[in-house]
Amino acid sequence: MDINISLKNTIYSVILFFREVQYPILHVIIGVHMDTKIAFGKALRRVRKTKGLKLEDFGTSRSYVGSVERGQYSPTLDKIDDIAQSLGVHPASLVIQTYLSLNKDISIENLVSLIKDEISGIDCISDITN
């Protein structure tokens, strides 16, 4: 009996520790990540609806696309590429829309200019041709 009570007290202490100390830290870390997933999902839904497409138009991946739109999944680059092809847009368009919605203080012109400057400062062409 005493072992069960002791075990229950230990488990209770661990739960309190994570709830009081660790959970707020994890919540902040997860919250930032969730904001990005939700913003990507909203960008995806906005493009899909603008193109006049329904989730059913994605065939067998409609459930996955719906989950991404709800911010439940964070798609890989390959999945973003596949989804963008289905939508008839460049994958960067989805990503740029995501970051525009996360940072309301930057215009599309400023963001594209920033990206252009960053890319021009990196020797991308030699990587592609070698």
Which residue ranges make up each domain of the chain? 2-121
pLDDT profile of the chain (130 residues), mean per 10: 59 53 45 73 95 89 92 92 94 93 87 87 62
Q: Which pLDDT score, from 0 to 100, does residue 129 have?
A: 52
Q: Which pLDDT score, from 0 to 100, does residue 49 have?
A: 96
CA angle 93-99-105, nearest 5°?
125
Q: Which pLDDT score, from 0 to 100, does residue 23 have?
A: 44
Q: Does domain 2-121 have CATH number 1.10.260.40?
A: yes
Longest Cα–Cα distance of the chain, Å, equals 72
- 3-class state of residue 68 by DSSP: helix
Q: Which pLDDT score, from 0 to 100, does residue 90 have?
A: 95
Estimate the crossing angle of helix 77-87 against helix 91-102, to 10 degrees.
100
Q: Which pLDDT score, from 0 to 100, does residue 53 have?
A: 94
